[in-house]
Structure 1
Amino acid sequence: MAPKVANFMWRALSNALPSLWSLFRRKIVKTPIYAICGDQPETIEHCLLHCPWTLAVWCSVVMKNGSPNPSLFTGNIKRGLLNWEEARVSVLQSSQLISRAPTLWTPPPVDVVKINFDGAWKESNLNSGVGVIIRSHMGLSIAGASLFRSHNSTVEAEAEALLYGFRMAVVLKLEKIIIEGDCQEVIKALSDSSFSPSRRISPILKKVAHLVPFFRSIHWNWVPREANRLANAAAKLAIQSLCSQEWANRPPNSLISVLRNDGLPAPP
């Protein structure tokens, strides 16, 4: 609904429009009679519902020559506005809850390892970066990668980052993992069987699906970018340096500050 239409409806239902009847009661005009029909006072209800000229419009355009019921119509409008207001309040409350949600990386349970992945992409030259971070319940780095690649979109880089994270986990013989990223399409494609991803990433996701049986348990978790800082920084590092690198317990020096910003221990 357009804002100006919603505003008009709200003012009409609140009796806040300057009808002749309202102006007459305030002694601003000499007569309250509606000029179009010349029969009844110009109240808001008469102008919008009861006037013969208005009824003709409702019958021919909206009600398809049916019999209009002004009271029922008014009630429907009021209910519609109330529903709209409830939905608006609900959206505002949801956005406030999201804004209050933790934006730092959170460690997994003791017997679980968390794999964060992210992709970065430059449309100008199709250069992309793949970032993978594997951390323990103490927040310590187990392994990671910052890989320089070339893709046609960001989501392809995201999908390859996920695939590389799975391959690293297989090599490390991890059993219980949490997969965490900020790309909703990739996370939803693998966690929701009813969701169909775009064709550009389907071949990559099929390779991921073939690796799933290697693990005892997998939990999929979408997080905002703020809670995926280290993987994002690793992906961007690959684009900036135009090279690839992997590490075990110590990430590159440029990423250690990100670890500290997450409130986690970093190598000395």
Structure 2
Amino acid sequence: MIKRQLRVDPSYKPCGNEVESTDRIILGCSFARAVWFGSNLSYVMPNSNNPKLSQLLGFWSQLQFPNKKSRMAALYLLSFIVWHLWLARNELAFRDMRYTPEEIIERSQKAFQEFWASCTAPSSAHSNSSNQPVHWTVPPPNRYKLNCDASLPHSASRGGIGGILRNSMARPVMAFSAPEHFLDPFVGEALAVRTGLKATLDGGFENINIEVDNVSLASLLIDESLPVPMSAANIIDDIKILLQNFPFVNISWIPREANDVANSLARKATSLVGRMDWPNSNPWLLDLCQQDALCNACPPLQ
């Protein structure tokens, strides 16, 4: 409207009255950043004052996903978040309706789920395995998979981290829960990976796949050219040094639904006073892993 010489207020109220632009509405302002991080993508926007949607889409192809279906699901969710951020802008501009980041997250993820369900619904009685819900998958033989996660209760400065290493039969060979002090969930996610890598090295395990449900963290570990948040710079440096000790490492992003065990370990840590290295035969741990084992047609865990 400004380009057409119309007299309108150029500021965008959720951005603290900064001048409105498409990239700022969708990515740059604090409102949009809260939506991106709170969504299932857990995406942390770079510290740049002018993040670009083109840059976000540019490094998307560099991310590694468990399979093509997971990649497409993440891209579709990204699209719905962009669309609902734009809708929220229009509702505010033309109808003076205000939404919270939580409401935008709920609306965009609900729309995505409805769309995804229609895309993956079986077209006949003979549906194939690609239509099954997303779940954790076993690593190849002679390789281990490390899953890590962090949990930070609302308005708390003390959270928890958790991680688990499993073999190709879905059996746990290492698992931990540890309380940690952090204010930024991204820092907690990075702490979980660093702790998990140290424990993996101490156990003598070499060939590993690493899975995290935080898009930003996966991106940083895959692409060293991306800017690192100052709050996690030292932790990311430690992780990169630790990775050099492994003959083979593969890093990928997974949906939160496929990271349930690591998430449960992280939430458990918030009620602990110190680190807990779980015995591999612990009934609670085996029960957490049981569903993943069944989804991969592995023998029952006992």
TM-score by length of 1: 0.61
SS at match of 1:228: helix
Decide which of 182, 189, 205 is 1:158's aligned counterpart. 189
Decide which of 159, 163, 172 is 2:203's aligned counterpart. 172
Decide which of 253, 266, 271 is 1:222's aligned counterpart. 253
> Within 1, Cα distance between the matches of 2:195 and 2:183?
18
Residue in structure 2 matched with residue 71 of structure 1 by the alignment: none
Unpaired runs of at least 5, structure 1: 1-59, 63-87
> Within 2, Cα distance between the matches of 1:102 and 1:219?
23
SS at match of 1:167: helix
Decide which of 108, 123, 131 is 2:139's aligned counterpart. 108
Residue in structure 1 matched with residue 289 of structure 2 by the alignment: 259
Q: Per-residue CA shift, 1:25-79, capped at 9, x if unaligned?
A: xxxxxxxxxxxxxxxxxxxxxxxxxxxxxxxxxxx869xxxxxxxxxxxxxxxxx
> Within 1, Cα distance between the matches of 2:210 and 2:288?
19
SS at match of 1:201: helix
**Structure 2 counterpart of 1:249, one-letter code:** N
Q: 1:196 to 1:242 in 2, by over 3 A?
A: same
Whether the aligned pair in 2 keeps the contact of 1:256 and 1:266 (CA below 8 Å) is no
Aligned pair count?
184
> Within 1, Cα distance between the matches of 2:213 and 2:286?
21
SS at match of 2:244: helix
Decide which of 128, 136, 139 is 2:170's aligned counterpart. 139
Where do residues 1-268 of structure 1 align in structure 2 (5 Å cutoff)? 96=116, 102-251=133-282, 253-262=283-292, 263=294, 267-268=301-302
1:249 Cα deviation from its structure 2 partner:
2.0
Q: 1:98 to 1:250 in 2, by over 3 A?
A: farther
1:98 Cα deviation from its structure 2 partner:
8.6
Q: Per-residue CA shift, 1:162-200, capped at 9, x if unaligned?
A: 001110111122221101010111111110122212111
> Within 2, Cα distance between the matches of 1:249 and 1:203?
31
Q: Per-residue CA shift, 1:72-121, capped at 9, x if unaligned?
A: xxxxxxxxxxxxxxxx9x95899626995742110000011100000011
Whether the aligned pair in 2 keeps the contact of 1:233 and 1:255 (CA below 8 Å) is no
Q: 1:101 to 1:207 in 2, by over 3 A?
A: farther
SS at match of 1:227: helix
Percent identity between matched residues is 25
> Within 1, Cα distance between the matches of 2:240 and 2:226?
14
